[in-house]
Amino acid sequence: MTTMTNPMLRTYPAEINLDRVRLARVIDELNACAQACTACADACLSEEAVTELTKCIRTNLDCADICAATARVLSRHTGYDANITRSLLAACITACRACGDECASHAGMHEHCAICAEACRSCESACRELLSMVS
């Protein structure tokens, strides 16, 4: 996957308190998870038994919004506040875990849920790793 995340972080003219390559990877994971969750919610809405997927849809949309907001905040470095970064990463870990669990419970019947669960697990792991590095 080609993104502009790494080149943009590389060209940032001031100091960034985090490893830029790892930061870029997390931002890319967040964006990929947001996209997967949005697409999964839409696919769930197209399923015949949509009422059985209400919680999944809601969890998908919450996770997508939290991941997208976290990616945007992690892309900004001027006036950096580690407390905000830690709080967002923690919220993202929680949302990804909840969404991954919910999608996994439907994965046997809906392939889009299996794909989304995988994206959530990967994003949760990346956020957990970055959270351990935030000072």
Question: Would you state the structure tokens that stand for residue 54, as one six-digit string?
Answer: 């209400």
Residue 72 lies in a domain: yes
Helix (H, G, I), strand (E, B) or coil at 13: coil
Residue 9 lies in a domain: no
Query: How much is the pTM?
Result: 0.95
Which helix (DSSP H) or strand (DSSP E) does residue 126 occupy?
A: helix 111-131
| pLDDT confidence tier of residue 1, bands split at 50, 70 and 90 | low
pLDDT tens-digit readout, 91-113: 999 999 999 999 999 999 999 99
Q: What CA–CA distance (Å, rounded) separates 131 from 26?
A: 10
Range of the domain at 40: 19-132
Residues near 120 by beta carbon (within 8 Å), at least 6 away in sequence? 33, 36, 37, 63, 96, 97, 99, 100, 103
pLDDT tens-digit readout, 75-93: 999 999 999 999 999 999 9
- Report the domain count for the chain: 1
Q: What CA–CA distance (Å, rounded) separates 15 from 31?
A: 23
pLDDT tens-digit readout, 5-41: 999 999 999 999 889 999 999 999 999 999 999 999 9
We report the CATH number of the domain holding residue 117 as 1.20.1270.360
Residue 11 lies in a domain: no
Residue 97 lies in a domain: yes
Print burial letters for 18-34: b (CB count within 10 Å at least 16), e (below 16).
beeeebbbbbbbbbbbb
Residue 30 lies in a domain: yes
